């Protein structure tokens, strides 16, 4: 947080099959695995391109399906209802902090994959949340700017320590 690239709109990827895009995705996947995160956007590694990756780990599947590591290029999100839900988020670009963030509960997202093939998917729950968090990075938006109550922005360590004091604080947040 504070690097200018995290506050800018990223550029469209013109050729998803280009070798430099493969290399970028490889580097990002390594970063994501190292951080044990659930998602990462290219601006977080200081590359101003509209490319995100995410996954839904087993403990986040809510009885539904897990989602393997997915690369989404030039994404667009459409909410499918007015319903929003708050949950805790954390971000590799905002280390050590966590906050309660409202997100659409049901979305459709579109984009293209690494072969340039169209992607279209309906998502709910954590899947919808992580995609919204990552796509926000492409428009210079970090999760604290989505928060409606900044008293719910805190150190992850303190939230865990005082978990009983915070509604919905029983789950660990996932970093994205």
Q: How far is the CB of 95 from Ni ion (least distance, A)?
A: 10
Question: CA 164, CA 89: separation in Å to the nearest integer?
Answer: 18
Nearer to Ni ion, 91 or 152 (CB): 91
CB closer to Ni ion out of 46 and 161: 46
Residue with tokens 């009983």: 164
- To the query of whether residue 134 is one of the catalytic residues in this protein, the response is yes
Stretch that binds Ni ion, among 6-14, 54-62, 71-79, 90-98 (CB under 5 A): 90-98
In angstroms, what is the minimal distance from the CB of 164 to Ni ion?
27
The whole-angstrom separation of Cα 115 and Cα 110 is 14
Determine how β-strand 153-155 pairs with β-strand 97-104: antiparallel
> Rounded distance, CA 149 to CA 137, Å?
20
Segment lying near Ni ion (by CB under 5 A), choices 9-17, 52-60, 86-94, 115-123: 86-94
What is the 3-class SS of 5-59, one letter each residue?
Answer: HHHCECECCCCCCCHHHHHHHHHHHHHHHHHCCCEEEHHHHCCCECEEEEEECHH
Q: What is the DSSP letter of 31?
A: H
- Please pick, among 134, 157, 158, 164, the residue that the annotation labels catalytic: 134
Shortest reach from residue 78's CB to Ni ion, in Å: 21
Instruction: Please state the closest distance from residue 52 (CB atom) to Ni ion, in A.
Output: 10
Contacting residues for 136 by C-beta, under 8 A, at least 6 apart: 142, 143, 146
Quote the CA–CA distance of 87 and 103 in Å, as a whole number.
8
**Which of 83-91, 96-104, 114-122, 164-172 is the region at the interface with Ni ion (rule: CB under 5 A)?**
83-91
- Position among 25, 49, 91, 107 found at the interface with Ni ion (CB under 5 A): 91
CB 84 within 8 A of CB 105: yes
- Is 97 a binding residue for Ni ion by CB under 5 A? The answer is no
In the complex with Ni ion, the residue whose CB is nearer, 32 or 63, is 32
The count of residues interacting with Ni ion (CB under 5 A) is 2
Q: Which residues are catalytic?
A: 134
Residue numbers of the site for Ni ion (CB under 5 A)? 91, 176
């Amino acid at each position: 947080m504070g690097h200018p690239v995290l506050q800018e709109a990223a550029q469209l990827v013109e050729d998803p099959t280009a070798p430099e895009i493969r290399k970028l995705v490889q580097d990002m996947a390594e970063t994501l695995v190292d951080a044990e995160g659930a998602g990462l956007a290219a601006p977080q590694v200081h590359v101003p391109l509209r490319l995100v990756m995410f996954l839904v780990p087993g403990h986040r599947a809510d009885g539904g399906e897990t989602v393997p590591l997915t690369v989404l290029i030039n994404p667009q999100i459409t909410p499918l209802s007015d319903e929003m839900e708050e949950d805790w988020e954390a971000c590799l670009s905002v280390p050590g902090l966590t906050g309660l963030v409202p997100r659409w509960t049901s979305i459709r997202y579109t984009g293209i994959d690494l072969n340039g093939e169209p992607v279209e998917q309906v998502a709910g729950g954590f899947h919808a949340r992580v995609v919204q968090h990552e796509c926000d990075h492409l428009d210079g938006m970090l999760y604290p700017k989505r928060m409606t109550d900044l008293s719910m922005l805190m150190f992850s360590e303190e939230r865990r320590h005082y978990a009983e004091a915070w509604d919905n604080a029983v789950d660990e947040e996932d970093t994205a």
